[in-house]
C-alpha cells in the first residue's frame, strides 16, 4: 500500500476547530484528502486511521470531551478500535479518548489555571509496539505547539507505574527554559501523550498539524505524522 491509498477519517463535532488543519496536514503528506465525518453519523466507512481533532467540542461547557464521547459516531469509532483499528486523538481529541476509556487517565485543568499556547519539546519514550512511535528515532526531540486549558494529564501512581511498565507513555515534555518550563500544564510525570494497551490508540496534547512547514516555524509535526502514516501503510 502507498501513502495515497491510506484511508484517513477525521471526526467533526460541533465546536471542533482543528478539523480542517488536520485535513490539510494529512493531505500534504499523503496527497489524498481525508474524509470529514460528522458526529451525528452512526457508522464509519472502513478507515486505516481515525483522527479526533482538536477544538472545543460542544464548547467544553461540561467536562472537556464528555459530550463528544457520547455522540453517535463514537460507537463506530469504538468498534473500529476494538477491531484493532488505529485512532489518534489530538488535544480535545485526547480528552474525548480519555472520556471514552480508549486511553487511560484523565485530563484536568492546567496547573497554572490558564490557557497556554506555545511550543513545547517532546521526548519520545520507549514504548510497546505502536505505529505512532515505531518510525521515530529514540532520543530525538520534537518541537510541537500546545494550545489548551485542560491538558494536565492525571492518573494515580499505581496506574502511572503500570503505564510506564507497559510502555504506554508515548511522549514526555522535556527541555524547558526560563520563559517556557518543560511541562506546560502540570501533567503527571510530564506526560504529553499516551497509548492504549495495544498501542493502536494514541492521545496527545500537542498539535502536530501546526508544525508542518517552515512557515509554521518548524516541521516536527510533519515528521511525526509522516512516520505514523508510513507505519500504518507497511
Partner 1 sequence: MNAASDVMTFENAAAMGLSRDEWALINQRLGRTPNLCELGIFSAMWSEHCSYKSSKKWLKTLPIDGPQVIEGPGENAGAVDIGDGLAAIFKIESHNHPSFIEPYQGAATGVGGILRDVFTMGARPVALLNALRFGEASHVKTRHLVGGVVSGIGGYGNCIGIPTVGGEVNFDKSYNGNILVNAMAVGLANSDRIFRSAATGPGNPVIYVGAKTGRDGIHGATMASAEFSDETESKRPTVQVGDPFTGKLLMEACLELMASDSVLSIQDMGAAGLTSSSVEMASKGGLGMEIDLDLVPAREEDMSAYELMLSESQERMLMVLRPDATETARAIFNKWDLDFMPIGRVTETGRLILLKDGGTACDIPIGPLVDDAPEYDRPHGDAPVRVQLPSADIASDAPISTVLKSLLGDVNLASRRWIYEQYDSQVMADTVAGPGGDAALIRVHGSKRGLAMSTDCTPRYVEADPKTGGAQAVAEAYRNLSAIGATPLAITNNLNFGNPEKPEIMTQLVESVLGMGEAARHLDTPVVSGNVSLYNETDGKAIQPCPVIGMVGVIEDVDHAAGNRFVADGEDIFVVGQSDIVNDGWLGASVYQQLHGDQAIYAPPPVNLDAELKNGSFVREQILGGSISAAHDISDGGLAVAIAEMAIRSGFGADITVPQAGQLHGWAFGEDQARFVVTTANHSALISAAKDAGVEITKIGKVSASGELKFGASDAISVSELGVVFEATIPALMAG
**Toward partner 1, which CB reaches closer, 55 or 65?**
55
Q: Residues 64, 148, 150, 209: which is the catalytic one?
A: 209
Q: Please pick, from the candidates 5, 24, 82, 138, the single residue that binds partner 1 as defined by CB under 8 A.
A: 24
Task: Work out how close the CB of 90 gets to partner 1 at its nearest, in angstroms, rounded to a whole number.
Answer: 12
Is 121:91 a contact under the CB 8 Å cutoff? no
The grid coordinates listed for 112 are 497554572
Listed residue (6, 74, 65, 5) closest to 37, CA to CA: 74
> 138 to 167, contacts with partner 1 by CB under 8 A?
145, 147, 149
One character per residue 27-66, x = contact with partner 1 (rule: CB under 8 A): ---------------------------xxx-xxxx-----
Q: For helices 220-233 and 19-30, what crossing angle results, to 10°? A: 60
Give the C-alpha separation, 147 to 91, whole Å: 8
Pairing of strands 191-195, 169-174: antiparallel
Whether 140 sits among the annotated catalytic residues: the reply is: no
Verify binding: residue 190, partner 1, rule CB under 8 A: no
Give the C-alpha separation, 111 to 183, whole Å: 10
C-beta neighbour count of 163 within 10 angstroms: 22
Q: Residues 91, 125, 148, 150: which is the catalytic one?
A: 91
Q: Please pick, from the candidates 157, 165, 215, 234, the single residue that binds partner 1 as defined by CB under 8 A.
A: 215
Give the C-alpha separation, 16 to 96, whole Å: 11
Give the C-alpha separation, 186 to 103, whole Å: 19
Task: Work out how close the CB of 113 gets to partner 1 at its nearest, in angstroms, rounded to a whole number.
Answer: 9
Whether 18 sits among the annotated catalytic residues: the reply is: no
Whether 117 sits among the annotated catalytic residues: the reply is: no
**Toward partner 1, which CB reaches closer, 7 or 216?**
216
Task: Work out how close the CB of 33 gets to partner 1 at its nearest, in angstroms, rounded to a whole number.
Answer: 13
Verify binding: residue 172, partner 1, rule CB under 8 A: no
C-beta neighbour count of 189 within 10 angstroms: 15
Verify binding: residue 121, partner 1, rule CB under 8 A: no
Pairing of strands 201-204, 86-90: parallel
Q: Site residues (CB under 8 A) for partner 1?
A: 14-15, 17-18, 20-21, 24-25, 54-56, 58-61, 114-118, 145, 147, 149, 178-179, 207, 209-210, 212, 215-216
Amino acid at each position: 500500500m502507498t501513502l495515497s491509498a491510506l484511508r484517513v477519517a477525521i471526526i467533526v463535532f460541533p465546536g471542533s476547530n482543528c478539523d480542517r488543519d488536520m485535513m490539510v496536514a494529512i493531505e500534504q503528506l499523503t496527497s489524498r484528502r481525508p474524509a470529514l465525518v460528522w458526529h451525528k453519523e452512526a457508522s464509519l466507512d472502513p478507515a486505516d486511521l481515525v483522527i479526533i481533532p482538536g477544538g472545543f467540542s460542544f464548547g467544553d461547557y461540561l467536562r472537556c470531551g464528555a459530550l463528544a464521547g457520547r455522540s453517535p459516531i463514537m460507537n463506530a469509532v469504538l468498534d473500529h478500535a476494538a477491531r484493532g483499528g488505529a485512532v489518534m486523538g489530538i488535544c480535545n481529541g485526547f480528552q474525548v479518548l480519555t472520556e471514552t476509556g480508549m486511553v487511560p487517565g484523565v485530563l484536568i485543568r492546567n496547573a497554572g489555571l490558564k490557557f497556554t499556547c506555545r511550543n513545547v519539546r517532546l521526548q519520545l519514550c520507549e514504548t510497546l509496539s505502536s505505529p505512532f512511535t515505531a518510525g521515530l528515532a529514540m532520543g530525538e526531540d520534537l518541537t510541537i505547539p500546545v494550545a489548551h486549558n485542560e491538558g494536565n494529564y492525571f492518573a494515580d501512581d499505581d496506574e502511572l507505574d503500570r503505564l510506564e511498565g507497559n510502555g504506554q507513555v508515548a511522549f514526555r515534555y522535556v527541555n524547558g527554559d526560563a520563559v517556557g518550563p518543560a511541562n506546560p500544564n502540570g501533567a503527571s510525570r510530564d506526560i504529553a501523550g499516551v497509548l492504549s494497551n495495544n498501542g493502536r490508540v494514541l492521545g496527545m496534547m500537542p498539535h502536530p498539524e501546526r508544525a508542518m512547514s517552515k512557515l509554521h516555524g518548524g516541521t516536527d509535526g510533519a515528521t511525526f505524522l509522516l512516520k505514523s502514516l508510513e507505519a500504518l501503510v507497511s
